[in-house]
Amino acid sequence: MPILGCTIPIKGRIKTKMSLEKATMNIDKVVSFKEAVKEKGQKEPIFSQGLYNWVMFILSLYTRVRENLKIDYESFVILQVVVSHSLYEINKSGTKTFAELEQQMTEIGKNKKAKNNKLTFASIADVLQLPRETVRRKVLNLGKKNILLNNTEDGIKLGTAYKTIYKEFVTETTLDLSILLKKWKKSGALEYLLEIKK
């Protein structure tokens, strides 16, 4: 099983352990923004505007996945599992700049002697809790576009077309995220979010 830098839910017979637990919520478990700010003697930030900005960010991301990458959102999330695995392996040798990361991402597909744990249809299906056949079909489709590479020896890796995605799509997403954070900072939502404790 590859190390993805995240916790994978423990699977029960059919559902994950988390989904088998009661999904009841009582008032003690709900974060009350009003009460939290009252304790700090602050004014409650305008939550609706911050939430609106977040929703618009998500809708923009979804639209760009469909229009620019020309893939469905489930395939995009599968791609993100492969990207997260690649980033986990790259970061073992230290953090990288945007340009250094671009070069490293390009080299992943060419590296035939990778010493890392390989990704498989099964491992991606486990992480996303998707049927293995769905993952297989979508990975093969991404392979036809050279976004992903897949073989039994090396597993599933980023393909040559990911270089274009990184250069264009990741850059645009980073700019969109920057705009979102600036809006949150202006409204006071960012500072408030950074102060929230579990």
User: Nearest Cα to 116, choosing from 166, 157, 75, 160?
Assistant: 157
| Better pLDDT: 47 or 1 | 47
Lowest average pLDDT, out of 2-6, 49-53, 63-67, 177-181, goes to 2-6
User: What distances in angstroms separate CA 187 from CA 21, 22, 41, 61, 191, one per listed residue?
Assistant: 37, 36, 17, 22, 9
Packing angle between helix 47-64 and helix 171-187, nearest 10 degrees?
170
Contact (Cβ atoms closer than 8 angstroms) between residue 108 and residue 174: no
State residue 7's pLDDT score. Answer: 47
72-160: CATH number = 1.10.10.10
State residue 43's pLDDT score. Answer: 56
User: What distances in angstroms separate CA 198 from CA 11, 182, 189, one per listed residue?
Assistant: 26, 24, 17
For the chain, the residue count is 198
Prediction pTM value:
0.72
What does the domain layout of the chain look like in residue ranges? 30-70+167-198, 72-160
User: What distances in angstroms separate CA 93 from CA 47, 75, 85, 88, one per listed residue?
Assistant: 40, 29, 14, 10
